[in-house]
A = this chain, B = another copy of it.
Amino acid sequence: MSALATAVADRLGVSQLERCQPPALSDLNLAPPRLTPPPSLASICSTQVYDRAAHTYGKSFSDVVRAVHGQVEHPPDVVAFPTKESEVVAVLDWCSVAGAAAVPYGGGSSVVDGVSCNVGDGWAGAVSIDLGRLNRVLDVDQVSRAARIQAGAMGPGIEDQLRPHGYTLRHFPQSFEFSSLGGWLATRSGGHYATNYTHIDDFVESLRAVTPAGVLESRRLPGSGAGPSPDRLMLGSEGILGIITEAWMRVQDRPTHRSSASVHFATMADGVAAVRAIGQAALFPSNCRLLDPDEAAGSAGVGDGSALLVLGFESADHPMDAWMDRAVELARDHGGTLPEGVRSSSAAGAWRSAFLRAPYGRDALVQLGCIAETFETACTWDRFDALHGEVMTTMEQALKEVCGGGTVTCRFTHVYPDGPAPYFTLLAPSRHRSQLAQWAELKAAASEVVLAHGGTITHHHAVGRDHRRWYELQRPPLFAEVLRAAKARLDPGGMLNPGVLISG
């Protein structure tokens, strides 16, 4: 921690960073719960301070700041831990009778205030419904290569259960360790992989959800043209239409052939042109992350001021040499160089471990009183240059005004034929009492500039409450009406995740 404090102080050019110690459990002072679970549910419900405090926040910057400072705002009155779907139904029934808001909770990794019990007025209390005990892979279909998985299963648990069958879900968001299948589905999670099948949306054969109006289950199919997709309505519904309890998911054989390369570009613009060419060539690299020079220096140890493209191919079926050869050729056509050549081992090891460590580092930076925030979007290629330029200028200016300085860097997380998904990282000095206000100011500046330049308010972080203001500008007004109508049918009392995605 003190090494980090020194390194960050150096990077930000500030004299010192003071660490704020997170509170002990015994320091927390929660209001007494306003709800008492009925005897039939008592064994799966908790009103313990630990459980309530642990389910108060997700993992957004403001969540972590408040948690570190022992501010426990809007804790759930009760945390329910259903062990089977019928108990999810029973908990919702009880919430309905009790006039309580019901907040689905998967891994708790929301960075958009999507899992808190900040549900507004008019409720007798709030129940956090933790799906974590619905954590099993229930069926594996070796012929179709699919698995029926409970929604509360977390990333590592899913992989552990699929591994003996030779399978992987191959969905690795940065939150992998602390996020669940149900959360991925409810938020349209983006996986680690850069192209083609990477969004969780595309792995769904069917899903099952408990709504206050009953259970909704779609037919398990590899593809269908029968009306609008019921699954696509639930995907991205962020817990406001129902609680996803399980899904049949497409799984994959575990990759055995890998090829990766690190390509250097003199400028970010050269790298962008190369990535566009590779993304439009239908080669479908598993990894195609472009890091701007600052990020390449900070995350992957690139010392020569280059932008870095981490390029990877993998397959469970065949060597990927022809694929990589062509991608490298395209990269070279756009000025790329490969100081290390193509390697079959992971040339991207440094970057990968930085990627996995980043969320832990963020929490430490919060304790040091810094602003450490990321925001992400996607836009078509024709708008990227303007969006990128304006975001960098606007945020550098905002950091100067709000924090007296700081850094903003950019990388691509996903690449589509028609555009990239740029991901921006802010790091700035702050003061412990100003972090939240400064963060809110920066968040607003970032969201506005992204939206003004044709980006989406979120490519894979979800909407929650934090993005709702801008989502409302982006979402077609008539589609908002449809969402409200859908909610009115499935959740007539409006008790599911109030304030998320649509206003109350």
Contacts and interface: CB of A to CB of B under 8 A. Distances in A.
B187 A282 contact: no
Given A481-B489, A482-B233, A145 B221 contact: no
Interface in A181-216: 187-190, 196, 199, 205, 211, 213-216
A221 B419 contact: yes
Interface in A450-465: 454-463
A380 B486 contact: no
B418 A213 contact: no
A282 B237 contact: no
Nearest to A227: B236
A431 interface: no
Interface of A: 141, 143-146, 187-190, 196, 199, 205, 211, 213-230, 232-238, 250, 252-253, 276, 280-284, 315-318, 321-323, 326, 330, 378-382, 414, 416-421, 454-463, 467, 471, 474-479, 481-486, 488-490, 501
A250 B463 contact: no
Nearest to A416: B222
Given A141-B382, A144-B419, A227 B483 contact: yes
Contact of A478 (B236, B280, B490): B490
B222 A419 contact: yes
B317 A281 contact: yes
A116 to B, nearest CB: 18
A225 B187 contact: yes
A238 B232 contact: no
B479 A216 contact: yes
Contacts of A144: 380-382, 418-419
Contact of A475 (B211, B227, B252, B457): B227
Contacts of A222: 378-381, 416-421
B456 A224 contact: yes
A113 B233 CA distance: 26
B461 A146 contact: no
A205 B282 contact: no
A477 B282 CA distance: 39
A226 B418 contact: no
B417 A454 contact: no
A280 B474 contact: no
A213 B485 CA distance: 14
A323 B455 CA distance: 35
A336 to B, nearest CB: 16
A434 B48 CA distance: 74
Contact of A188 (B143, B196, B225, B485): B225
Contacts of A217: 476
A462 B418 contact: no
14 contacts: A141-B380, A141-B381, A141-B382, A144-B418, A205-B418, A218-B479, A223-B419, A223-B456, A225-B459, A226-B458, A227-B463, A229-B232, A281-B315, A481-B489
Contacts of A322: 318, 321-323
B220 A454 contact: yes
Contacts of A317: 280-283, 326, 330
A250 B418 contact: yes
Contacts of A455: 221
Contacts of A489: 478, 481-482, 484-485
Contact of A223 (B223, B235, B378, B463): B378
Contacts of A482: 230, 233, 485-486, 489-490
Contacts of A236: 225-229
A474 B316 CA distance: 34
A443 B461 CA distance: 46
A189 B226 CA distance: 10
A227 B216 contact: no
Contact of A226 (B380, B382, B475): B475
A426 to B, nearest CB: 20
A18 B127 CA distance: 73
B485 A485 contact: yes
B213 A199 contact: no
A230 B143 contact: no
Contacts of A141: 380-382
Closest 9 CB pairs of A and B: A222-B419, A322-B322, A222-B416, A232-B232, A485-B485, A188-B225, A224-B456, A281-B317, A144-B380
